[in-house]
Amino acid sequence: MAKTVVFSKRSSNRLDKLLAYLGSEWSLKVKNEFIEKLDRCVLQISKHPDSCPE
């Protein structure tokens, strides 16, 4: 059973800033590729929560 992954307020704010930076200084393609990789990592953590510390 998959668990819910919750981002802290700080990590959420930092992610927002990073995505804004990637969108403005790099490209939409780079930003979207990063989001896809992050989504895959979060899904992996969700499916296997014991593999990562809290």
Distance CA 20, CA 3 (A): 28
Q: How far apart are CA 18 and CA 37, in angstroms?
A: 14
Residue 1: the pLDDT is 75
**What DSSP designation does 26 have?**
S
Angle (CA) 24-43-48 rounded to 5° is 140
Q: How many residues does the chain have?
A: 54
User: Tens digit of pLDDT for each residue in 2-53?
Assistant: 889 999 999 999 999 999 999 999 999 999 999 999 999 999 999 998 887 7
Q: How far is the C-alpha of 13 from the C-alpha of 17, rounded, in Å?
A: 6
Question: In this predicted structure, what is the pLDDT of residue 35?
Answer: 98
> Does residue 54 surpass a pLDDT of 80?
no
